[in-house]
Amino acid sequence: MSEILTKLGELEKQLRAHINDRSESNRTSESVKERTLQLEAELSNKDDRIVELEEGLKVLKTAGSIQGNGADVAEAKGRISEMVREIDKCIALLNS
């Protein structure tokens, strides 16, 4: 009988150890899930920021080309020439 009680005691210790391990695993899993959600939100914010910055860059490039800064001078002149041609066409249509 003593042997059986000893074995039951050992089984109980092992069972409690497994329960504790499982509880710790559950806590770790929850922590990982929370961190994953935080990182996903942060990534979404960064993606939004990238889109915002890319739009700002387009605006700056357009403004720079219109002002004639740097290598975009030829492109700006081409855009202005096209606009002038369109205006001339409109004036010609109004005069006719």
Q: How many whole angstroms from its chain centre is CA 18? A: 40
Q: What predicted TM-score, i.e. pTM, was given to this entire model?
A: 0.49
| pLDDT for the residue numbered 1 | 78
The answer to whether 81 touches 91, Cβ cutoff 8 Å, is: no
> Which residues of the chain register pLDDT less than 50?
none
Please report the pLDDT score of residue 49 as a whole number.
94
| In the chain, where the domains are located | 2-95
Burial of 64 (0-12, 13-18, 19+ CB in 10 A): middle
